[in-house]
Amino acid sequence: MPNHHIKPILKTAGIVLALCAYVAGAWFFSRSTPYYNITNMSGADRISYEKARVLSIDYQDVGPDKTYRQMQTGTQTATIRILTGEYKGQAEKIKNGLNYDSNYLLSPGEDIIVSVNTAASGKTINIFLYSPDRGPWLYILIGLFVLSLCAIGGRKGFRSVIAILFTLTSVVFVFIPLLYRGASPAAAALAFAGMTAVVTLLLIGGWKVKTAAAILGTVIGVAFSAGVLRLFEYLASLSGYNMSEYDTLLVISGHSGMRVDQLLFASVIISSLGAVMDIAISVASSVNEVSSSDPLAGAGRLFRSGIRVGRDMMGTMANTLILAFVGGSLNMLILIYAYRMNYFQIINSNTIAIEIMQAFSGSLAVVFTVPLVSLTAAKLLTISSCRRNGVPALPELPSPPGAKEPVAAK
Amino acid sequence: MRNKSARRIVSFILAAVVVLPTLAGMTTKADTPNTPYDVTFSLGSKETQVCFNWMSPSKGKAQVQIAKTSSVKSGSFPSNSTVTGTATATTATNGGLGNASYTDATTGEYTNKATVSGLSLSTKYTYRVGDGTTWSSEYTFTTGNPGSGFSFLAFGDPQLGAASSNANAAIKHTSLADDQAGWADTLKKATSKYPSINFLFTLGDEVNNYTDLTAQQNEYKAFFTPDSSAGYLQKFALVALEGNHDEQLGKYYSYHYNQPNRSTLGETSNNSVNNNDGDYWFTYGDALFMVLNANNYADTAAHDEFMKQAVDANPNARWKIAAWHQSAYSEASHAVSSADDSTQITFIRQNWPKLMDKYGVDVVFEGHDHSYTRTYQMYNGLPVDATKTNLVSDTKGTVYFTLDSGSGSKYYDFQSTAVHTFSSLFWQQYAPTYSYITIDDNEFKIDTIRTDTGDSVDHYTIDKTPLAPASSSQPDSNSTVTSTPSGRSSSSAGNIDTGDSFNGSIPIAVSSTLGILVLIAIAAALIARRKQKD
């Protein structure tokens, strides 16, 4: 059929068009000039970060530290060749101190990043080791992830990569600029959560009823957790003003109109979104499986099966959020333990209170997403399966012989 | 007698001074008297020089009348006692911060600067400043004779106007008046305990508000004149430096001080307007003081060049002392990685000590963290000896002091999550403190005292063997590289494709093994999928 050929072309064109619109919009939207020059230098003085290669180690006196034996401290003198920027190609000598603030043992052939700072006279140049050149390794790790995702996940894996790309780019090019320009962080976070849920779940779940159920469940789940969060933010007197960088953000807000007070809300919504989407699509999929193996299963049965699957998952998923919090604040937890800090002091500190708020309101959203998605999936699937089968949407009807497979199954 | 005729002349002048403005008033505005305020003087490049600075509401002659107190009789100065300086209209970056949308505008004030040289040592002087018509009150100060040693008082951020009522502080500050009273109290107690000090030293953030000009003007007045009857800052020379709060209104900071040997090196810039706040140095006795502007933190090359100039100009300095605002080594709020200025602080901690190592600086004074930290002697970013002690002799490295609030206007809490490896002593009891420092040929001594009780918080002494050459850390030329193009500059040197970076043999082995493993896994997965389909 000719239709068969035109459809994919239209679809592709549509996708390409949407993509172009997205890229153009993001580019236009995210343009901004730096708020101000944070280095504050005057005249023709300048600093840049450049790549360099260690040619040789000319002097080395490095050994176990006197106090912390497991750490290597001391000095190295290295000859390096600068590979980029103003002094590209030049060989220079640098002194590398291995101490508590900077601790990298250099070896010949290694690539490093140096800060190159020139005074206006050109007579004095300070070249200091900034870090090893980590970029390539990070790209390799990302590459491995993408490759593996595609290889093991197949077409779905590739779609997941696109979904991740979309999420990342919309954070950087749309969400952050929105916040910076003074959009309400709460509204922006909810809109962003909705958009991400729609795109990600459509890409991964496909254009299907279960996807619609998952999206609906995610959006309602996030909205629900937003309500809870709002309430407890108010009760516990927490807001963006209690976050660690608020002082600087406040100064910037004076210029850009950013709403610092609502930033905490936005950050909590974003950090729980992943887990909520995760449980939403899982529950929707399993309800869909039940529905496809038993097309005439009633909404009640589908709902119960969704809840059963969800029960298994909500525990581990809530754990995911809480473990993410533990992982993120591991050092702080060790310190609290080491110093035997006072309970009132710990539980009421801004950081801990925010972390707990974040972990548990997110987990609450996960828990409530299970019945929400089960319900929407059960309703939507029974309706659509009945419509496909030409049967009125009534629960618990005996299945007619020779009923067609429902939508989701190929 | 000469004295009598001099007096007659002076009284004539005075009479003229009283009459003239009334006449002048017909043609020029004279409704508000041009009364000087924010009167201060700084040490000059030598002990026989002082540099005056004051603000005035209108432009006048910028005159200082100064004479030995013994020759000033009942308010009249000898005839040859007038020094004329310059008056300049002041500007401020309106709204603060180097934001492109903010521009510099005049503030309707004038800064008056006059330098007086040729003073005698160990002599009491009387002075007043004004425009030749309207004068300030008369103040006296005594010059030092630092050949036999000298002393000064140092204070961390007075930050008048912060009025940040810390829950742990016994005395809560809720207004500028509270800060002003705290500042006056510290100055009163410190200068009455140590009346023979040679100067006062504040370590930045003299004022607090950085967006509102009027608020900052009031804070400057409170800083310079916390108690108008006592005139502490008019009685002692003041060495001040620029903190992050003072910097934000651009050039406005520089109009309040008259600093000797000020360089353009190290100065900051707002919207391409240079702020006249560069590094400066002075010597007192055989100590060289280098005052650096850490608001320009990334420009170590400029500070490096400045320090070279200062050290070259004073090759025989027995003690080298540096000071700047943002503390490299402290343990309170600014030292944690989540602090709003953590990039800056980390950069300073990683890189500025390299300059101290290079020039063999003995002592560094810093502020910013409103708490007290004394490091071990530090060299190459490490403690020379991590043994707690209050006395070192002929030691290597630099000791860094972060001084606590001088006024009690604001305190920062100890941060358990900050770096502590460098710290020999931390102190935070939410009370203002001051440090009393004495320096002679062979000994540097600091005693830090809490203002409320007068108890000692910390004391530390550095001894040097008499007549030995100054603590000589050889300048290590390695951290500063003069630009010398290397002979070989092959074309491949500039390539920055990632393939270029796998030169080390170990990384190659690791990456290829990893890569192969992953490829095998991918292949296995593909085969498994194919089989499943079949």
- Pairwise CA distance, residues B299 & A128, whole Å: 12
Residue B226: its pLDDT value, please? 96
Tally of structural domains, chain A: 2
Whether residue A255 and residue B99 make contact (CB cut-off 8 A), yes or no, is yes
Tell me whether residue A366 is in a domain: yes
- Pairwise CA distance, residues A123 & A116, whole Å: 13
- Contact list, A254 vs chain B (CB under 8 Å): 211
Whether residue A124 and residue B302 make contact (CB cut-off 8 A), yes or no, is yes
Whether residue B526 and residue A43 make contact (CB cut-off 8 A), yes or no, is no
Whether residue B381 and residue A99 make contact (CB cut-off 8 A), yes or no, is yes
The CATH number given to whatever domain includes residue A124 is 2.40.50
Tell me whether residue A242 is in a domain: yes
How many angstroms separate the CA of residue B510 from the nearest CA in chain A? 11
Residues A228 and A376 in one domain: yes
- Pairwise CA distance, residues B31 & B356, whole Å: 53
- Per-residue 3-state assignment (H helix, E strand, C coil) for A319-337: HHHHHHHHHHCHHHHHHHH
Residues A115 and A247 in one domain: no
Whether residue B480 and residue A33 make contact (CB cut-off 8 A), yes or no, is no
- Choose the closest CB to A251 out of B97, B264, B493: B97
Looking at per-residue confidence, does A256 or B92 come out higher?
B92
In one letter, which amino acid is B445?
K
Residue A385: its pLDDT value, please? 67
Give the tens place of pLDDT for each residue, B171-210.
Answer: 899 999 999 999 999 999 999 999 999 999 999 999 998 8
- Pairwise CA distance, residues B432 & B229, whole Å: 22
For residue B434 the two structure tokens come to: 């001051």
* B407-434: average pLDDT: 89
For residue A124 the two structure tokens come to: 């004095």
Residue B445: its pLDDT value, please? 97
For residue B441 the two structure tokens come to: 């040929």
Residues A181 and A254 in one domain: yes
- Contact list, A65 vs chain B (CB under 8 Å): 382
- Which stretch of B261-275, B276-290, B458-472 has the lowest confidence by average pLDDT? B458-472
- Pairwise CA distance, residues A176 & B31, whole Å: 54
Residues A77 and A171 in one domain: no
- Choose the closest CB to A109 out of B268, B478, B504: B504
- Contact list, A94 vs chain B (CB under 8 Å): 478-479, 481
The CB density around residue A378, as the number of other CB atoms within 10 Å, is 27
Looking at per-residue confidence, does B83 or B25 come out higher?
B83
Residue A360: its pLDDT value, please? 84
Give the tens place of pLDDT for each residue, B283-321.
Answer: 999 999 999 999 999 999 999 999 999 999 999 999 999
| Residue among A188, A399, A19, A151 nearest B524 (CA) | A151
Instruction: For A85, name the nearest residue in chain B, comparing CA atoms only.
Output: B494
pLDDT exceeds 60 at position B504? no
- Pairwise CA distance, residues B342 & B529, whole Å: 50
Residue A32: its pLDDT value, please? 65
Whether residue B343 and residue A38 make contact (CB cut-off 8 A), yes or no, is yes
Residue B292 contacts residue B114 (beta carbons within 8 Å): no
- Contact list, B275 vs chain A (CB under 8 Å): 42
Residues A296 and A361 in one domain: yes
Tell me whether residue A138 is in a domain: no
Residue B334: its pLDDT value, please? 84
Domain spanning B143-463, CATH class: alpha beta
Q: A72-82 and A91-98: which strand pairing? A: antiparallel
DSSP label at residue B454 = -
- Which stretch of A13-17, B258-262, B503-507, B525-529 has the lowest confidence by average pLDDT? B503-507
Give the tens place of pLDDT for each residue, B45-82.
Answer: 888 999 999 999 999 999 999 999 999 987 789 988 99
Q: How far is CA A244 from CA A184, A341, B333, in A?
A: 20, 20, 10
- Pairwise CA distance, residues A99 & B422, whole Å: 10
- Angle among Cα B207, B212, B216 to the nearest 5 degrees reads 25
- Contact list, B505 vs chain A (CB under 8 Å): 109
Asked whether the ipTM of the predicted complex exceeds the cut of 0.90, the reply is no
Tell me whether residue A234 is in a domain: yes
- Pairwise CA distance, residues A115 & A127, whole Å: 6
Instruction: For B384, name the nearest residue in chain A, comparing CA atoms only.
Output: A66
Residues 6 or more apart whose CB falls under 8 angstroms from that of A371 comprise: A303, A306, A307, A310
- Domain locations in chain B as residue ranges: 143-463
Whether residue A39 and residue B298 make contact (CB cut-off 8 A), yes or no, is yes
pLDDT exceeds 50 at position B2? no
The CATH number given to whatever domain includes residue A271 is 1.20.1640
- Pairwise CA distance, residues B353 & B344, whole Å: 14
Whether residue A124 and residue B490 make contact (CB cut-off 8 A), yes or no, is no
Tell me whether residue A123 is in a domain: yes
- Pairwise CA distance, residues A307 & B67, whole Å: 93
pLDDT exceeds 60 at position B96? no
Residues A255 and A367 in one domain: yes
- pLDDT band (50, 70, 90) for residue B123: very high
Whether residue A109 and residue B503 make contact (CB cut-off 8 A), yes or no, is yes
Residue A44: its pLDDT value, please? 86
What is the Cα gyration radius of chain A?
Answer: 28
Containing structural domain, residue A75? 46-133
Residues A290 and A370 in one domain: yes
Whether residue A117 and residue B299 make contact (CB cut-off 8 A), yes or no, is yes
- Choose the closest CB to A126 out of B480, B504, B505: B480
Residues A246 and A311 in one domain: yes
* B113-134: average pLDDT: 94
Sign for the pseudo-dihedral over CA of B355, B361, B366, B371: positive
| Residue among B399, B316, B329 nearest B371 (CA) | B329
Residue B426: its pLDDT value, please? 94
Residue B7: its pLDDT value, please? 52
pLDDT exceeds 70 at position B15? no
User: In what order do the strands lie in the sheet containing B139-142?
Assistant: B82-84, B63-68, B124-130, B139-142
pLDDT in single tens digits along all 410 residues of chain A: 444 455 777 777 877 887 877 787 777 766 666 666 667 788 889 999 999 999 999 999 999 988 888 889 999 999 999 999 999 999 999 999 998 888 999 999 999 999 999 998 888 999 999 999 999 999 999 999 999 999 998 888 888 898 888 888 888 888 888 888 888 888 888 888 888 888 888 888 778 888 888 888 888 888 888 888 888 888 888 877 777 666 667 777 777 778 888 888 888 888 888 888 888 888 888 888 888 888 777 888 888 988 988 888 887 877 877 888 788 778 778 878 887 778 888 888 887 888 888 888 888 888 888 998 898 888 888 877 666 665 554 444 444 444 444 444 33
Whether residue A40 and residue B502 make contact (CB cut-off 8 A), yes or no, is no
Instruction: For A115, name the nearest residue in chain B, comparing CA atoms only.
Output: B298
pLDDT exceeds 90 at position B396? yes
Whether residue A245 and residue B340 make contact (CB cut-off 8 A), yes or no, is yes
Residue B339 contacts residue B345 (beta carbons within 8 Å): yes
Backbone phi and psi for residue A350, each to the nearest 5 degrees, phi listed first: -55, -50
Whether residue B305 and residue A119 make contact (CB cut-off 8 A), yes or no, is yes
Q: B443-450 and B433-439: which strand pairing? A: antiparallel
- Pairwise CA distance, residues B269 & A43, whole Å: 8
Residues A172 and A320 in one domain: yes
Which ranges of A31-123 does DSSP label H, i.e. alpha helix?
Answer: none
Whether residue A247 and residue B340 make contact (CB cut-off 8 A), yes or no, is yes
The CB density around residue A182, as the number of other CB atoms within 10 Å, is 13
- Pairwise CA distance, residues A210 & B387, whole Å: 67
- Choose the closest CB to B274 out of A35, A43, A90: A43
pLDDT exceeds 70 at position B476? no
DSSP label at residue A358 = H
Give the tens place of pLDDT for each residue, A62-96.
Answer: 999 888 888 899 999 999 999 999 999 999 999 99
| Helices and strands counted in chain A (H then E) | 11, 5
How many angstroms separate the CA of residue A339 from the nearest CA in chain B? 8
Cα-to-chain-centroid distance, residue B444: 20
Whether residue A40 and residue B422 make contact (CB cut-off 8 A), yes or no, is no
pLDDT exceeds 90 at position B24? no
Residues A161 and A224 in one domain: yes
- Pairwise CA distance, residues A159 & A175, whole Å: 22
Q: Which of A48, A50, A99 to mutate to test the interface with B (most CBs of B within 10 A)?
A: A99
* B481-508: average pLDDT: 37
Residues A363 and A331 in one domain: yes
Rank B74-88, B127-141, B413-427, B513-527 by mean pLDDT and report only the highest. Answer: B127-141
Q: Which of A80, A101, A334, A354 to mutate to test the interface with B (most CBs of B within 10 A)?
A: A101
- Contact list, B488 vs chain A (CB under 8 Å): 91
Residue B473: its pLDDT value, please? 47
Tell me whether residue A146 is in a domain: no
Tell me whether residue A68 is in a domain: yes
Residue B274 contacts residue A43 (beta carbons within 8 Å): yes
Which DSSP string corresponds to B327-375?
-SS--BGGGSTTSTTHHHHHHHHHHHHHHHHHHT--EEEEESSSSEEEE
Residues 6 or more apart whose CB falls under 8 angstroms from that of A256 comprise: A35, A180, A181, A182
Instruction: For B304, name the nearest residue in chain A, comparing CA atoms only.
Output: A124
Tell me whether residue A18 is in a domain: no
How many angstroms separate the CA of residue B184 from the nearest CA in chain A? 29
A and B: number of Cβ contacts within 8 A: 208
Looking at per-residue confidence, does A312 or B221 come out higher?
B221
- Contact list, B504 vs chain A (CB under 8 Å): 107-110
Q: SS3 of A221, please?
A: helix
- Angle among Cα A47, A49, B364 to the nearest 5 degrees reads 55
In one letter, which amino acid is A341?
M
Whether residue A102 and residue B484 make contact (CB cut-off 8 A), yes or no, is no
Residues A232 and A106 in one domain: no
Residue A388: its pLDDT value, please? 60
